[in-house]
Structure 1
Amino acid sequence: MQSSCSPIFLLVSCLLAGCLALMYYDDDTNNTGEDGTFPTSNASGMPRSFPGQKVSINNTTYLSLDDEFKMLLLSWVSTSLVPSLYTLVFLVGLPANGLALWVLATKIQRLPSTIFLMNLAVADLLLVLVLPFRISYYFLGHNWIFGEALCRLVTAFFYGNMYCSTLLLACISLDRYLAIVQPFFSRSVRSPAFASCLCMAVWLGAASLTLPLTAHKQSYPLNYGSGLVVCHDVLPEDEQTGHFLSIFVCVVVVGFVLPLLVILFCYSSVICVLAASGKRYSHAIKLTVLVLASVVALFTPSNFLLLIHYSDPTARGFGALYLWYVLSLAISTLNSCVDPFIYYYVSEEFRDKIKRKLCRQDRSALTAPKTSREDIPGLGTRSTSLL
């Protein structure tokens, strides 16, 4: 499979969750029973949120939220701090990832590391592009104005691309491990075709993790007379009760724990090899440690809280934790801002390519060299690797 096919395929893959959302979308008239209420279902796979009680008024189902949870839902943390963090991520992540993707796609030789980094930039960019919907939603005081279909679509894209980023970070760490720790074995494994196939598997795996989000109703009007429509943050209590721990353990394990273990093993091995090679790789070691620290610091809190939140057999036991989960989730999106600066802009050659293009100087020098330094232990292409 040629690496040139990868951009087309990953655009199709990242839209898979959106297509499924529209396929499964049913309006209220198709989902209501004879009494105008929604039938109770075992919503396995639906992420738990604040627990709401169903109230049917004039053939419309509302969710009634206890005062305790309503205060948490409408607190300054979720209506001011969280959307402010998302705004910061959008303002920094959009140009940073967009520029990085443009340089990687047009100015850098298509090596395995380039393909992984292109896919990471696409995942981060797609995550950033859905943030305006969430920013508007939170600044409006948890009032979703975009309809049920977009609620499912935005929620699926948000979680799908977040877990896709963690899986791609694991792929990048594995690629560095093979190039530096196993240089001879890597010659027979590392290729643009293999990297493209692995990226395709990652996109499909991330899309499959979002399937439950697209198969269940996510938006409900909150408290009769309030005028608020919540998206994903409040779901019927009777659809959240039950022992769904195994389902969410699978999501956390596949989307976070396994990638984290791969990253820790690969980069620990890389650090050991580089440390034994002498002081000339001290900069690479520092960058590797920075990558490990950013992954652990940004992704661990949200996934840890998610696991605790779903470990209670009742819907109300750990309901208060959901607010802090929402905050930690916003913090985890900062990784989309961190990735470009760790993987791209630390490279002098990468920065030179941008400067030359923007200044319209020496355009012929922007083409990537045909010879690769990636096969030398401890060295990658200066423009596409953190090592």
Structure 2
Amino acid sequence: METTTFVYDYSTEVDSYGDCNRDDDNNLGAQLSVVYYFMFVFSLCGNGLVLFIIQRFEKLTTVTNILLLNLVFSSLIFMITLPFMAAYMQLGTWIFGKAMCKVYGCFHYLGFYSSVLLLALLTFDRHLAVVYSLNTSRLRNHRYVLMSCAVVWLLSGLACIRSMLLHNTFQFKNRYTYCEEFPGELTYIDAKKVKDVGFYLQLVLFLIFPLVVIIYCYVRIVITVILSRIATKFKTVRLIFIIVLMFFICWAPFNIVILLSYDKNNTCEEMKKLGYAQQITRNMAYIYFSISPMFYTFVGKKFQNYFRQLLVKRFPCLRNYISVQQFSRTNMSTKTTPSA
């Protein structure tokens, strides 16, 4: 397997590495990229299941379901790029052409950015529902959620302008074809300013802002649940802690490494170490984005019950072992089938 000598990082220029040999950390990335194929298949199956359950059992017009649908589509847009990324990293050269390079770059960023903002929006909506449950019933309506999602997609699309302008195919030292941010063909645009603005936009809007929103909302949710003094609600506190912990473990390290890699004064040895860290933390971040729609869906007892209904319907022999509660689409009546 042949590897290249560049760092697979959109925030840096290929020619800035000079003679620093990066074969080792790129080889690690090529080996780890095999996981992307499994992420892609798993995401298709898992997100497809989420879509089927929402369509089969739930109303498609509720606030939570509209947010989940947008999160699923965002995750799928991002996951579509993973097989291309895996092939690129394994072959060491881009084989899909110039047009596909721009499409790949735009889809990658669009899925990544929108997923982050939608996770923050979903968290904020749950915060409204729990903390201000009586006062926000009129606010959390169809118009509110459609406008919120439209803002998310608009911001994510605008943030992709950098990729549309800079993402291109080129050859470096006549060895391989790269698909990276390269300003070689832009004569009337200050590529450095475009890249700097894009970097700080990603740092503030897609890292700091979502983290602040998620931390604030979950702290308020936990306080509200604890003050309610309902014993069964403490399970919700544990669940919230797991959600926040997973978010930080899987997502924050990758962004921190990207931030450190942006320093142009890094030595070759420092770039190698950051390269190893980036290959590992990237996989952690991508795993979270691949499972986030399913994770946010199946933490609810109602969706867990819908999944059990599907299992019982598909495998009747499980009926005596799985407890199923029948929900109507209007959620007005239920019927419980006890397990043996």
Q: Which runs of 5+ in 2 are unaligned?
A: 1-8, 320-325, 334-340
Match of 1:271 among 194, 200, 222: 222
Shift of 1:233: 7.6
| Map 1:241-260 → 2, pairs under 5 A | 245-260=196-211
Flag the 1:324–1:151 CA change in 2: closer, same or farther, 3 A. farther
Q: CA deviation at 1:146?
A: 0.4
Contact 1:124 1:336 in 2 (8 A): yes
Q: 1:233 to 1:68 in 2, by over 3 A?
A: farther
Instruction: Name the counterpart of 1:356.
Output: 309
1:369 — aligned with what? 330
Whether 1:287 aligns to 2:235 is: no
Instruction: Give the CA deviation at 1:210.
Output: 1.0
Task: Select the residue among 139, 143, 147 that pairs with 2:97.
Answer: 147
Using the alignment, how far apart are the partners of 1:249 and 1:316 within structure 2? 24
2:286 equivalent among 328, 333, 345: 333
AA of the residue aligned to 1:266:
C
TM-score (norm 1): 0.70
Greater RCO, 1 or 2 (C-alpha within 8 Å, sep 6+): 1
TM-aligned CA deviation for residue 70 of structure 1: 4.1
Conservation of the 8 A alpha-carbon contact between 2:77 and 2:110: no
Is 1:168–1:199's contact at 8 Å kept on the other side of the alignment? yes
- d(CA) in 2 for partners of 1:220, 1:173: 41
Q: 2: CA distance between counterparts of 1:305 and 1:261?
A: 19
Q: Is the 8 Å Cα contact of residues 94 and 179 (structure 2) preserved in structure 1?
A: yes
In 1, Cα distance between the equivalents of 2:224 and 2:308?
34
Partner residue in 2 for 1:198? 148
> Do the aligned partners of 2:167 and 2:179 also contact (CA within 8 Å) in 1?
no
Q: 1:127 aligns with which of 78, 83, 87?
A: 78
Q: Does 1:91 align with 2:41?
A: yes
Q: Deviations over 1:48-77 (max 9, x none)?
A: 335327xxxxxxxxxxx744244256x321
1:212 aligns with 2:162: yes
Q: Secondary structure at the match of 1:52?
A: helix
The whole-number CA distance in structure 2 between the counterparts of 1:349 and 1:182 is 22
Residue-pair matches, total: 309
1:232 aligns with: 180
One-letter amino acid of the structure 2 residue matched with residue 258 of structure 1: F
Deviations 1:242-289 (Å, cap 9, x if unpaired)?
Answer: 796454122221112101100100011001111222321122112211
Q: Tell me, what secondary structure is at the counterpart of 2:76?
A: helix
Q: For each residue in 1:204-238, what CA deviation from the matched residue of structure 2 results, as whole angstroms up to 9, or x when unmatched? A: 111111111111242222332x3x212228887x9
Residue 312 of structure 1 deviates from its aligned partner by 3.4
Q: Deviations over 1:85-127 (max 9, x none)?
A: 3223223222111110222244312321111111111111221
Q: Describe the shift of the 1:111–1:223 C-alpha distance in structure 2 as closer, same or farther (beyond 3 A).
A: same
Counterpart in the other structure of 2:133: 183
The answer on whether the counterparts of 2:102 and 2:167 sit within 8 Å (CA) in structure 1 is: yes
CA RMSD of aligned residues (A): 3.2
- Helix, strand or coil: the match of 2:93? coil
Is the Cα–Cα contact under 8 Å of residues 74 and 111 in structure 2 kept in the other structure?
A: yes
Q: Tell me if 1:49 matches 2:1.
A: no
CA distance in structure 2 between the aligned counterparts of 1:243 and 1:355, rounded to whole angstroms: 50
- 2:298 equivalent to 1:345: yes
Cα–Cα, structure 1 residues 366 and 274, in superposed 2: closer, same or farther, change >3 Å? closer
Q: Does the CA-based 8 Å contact 1:299-1:332 persist in structure 2?
A: yes
Give yes or no for the alignment of 1:307 onto 2:259. Answer: yes
1:282-316 deviation line (CA, Å, top 9, x unaligned): 22112211111122112211222222222437998
In the alignment, the residues of structure 2 paired with residue 247 and residue 317 of structure 1 have an alpha-carbon distance, to the nearest angstrom, of 26
Question: Retained in 2: the 8 A contact 1:51–1:319?
Answer: no
Of stretches 299-308 and 199-208 in structure 1, the one that deviates more from structure 2 is 299-308
- Equivalent AA in structure 2 for residue 257 of structure 1: I
Out of 138, 149, 165, which is 2:89 matched to? 138
Gap runs ≥5 in structure 1: 1-45, 54-64, 373-387
Off by >6 Å, runs of 4+ in structure 1: 233-236, 238-243, 313-318
After superposition, the C-alpha distances for 1:13-61 in whole angstroms (9 at most, x for unaligned) are: xxxxxxxxxxxxxxxxxxxxxxxxxxxxxxxxx94335327xxxxxxxx
Aligned partner of residue 43 in structure 2, secondary structure: helix
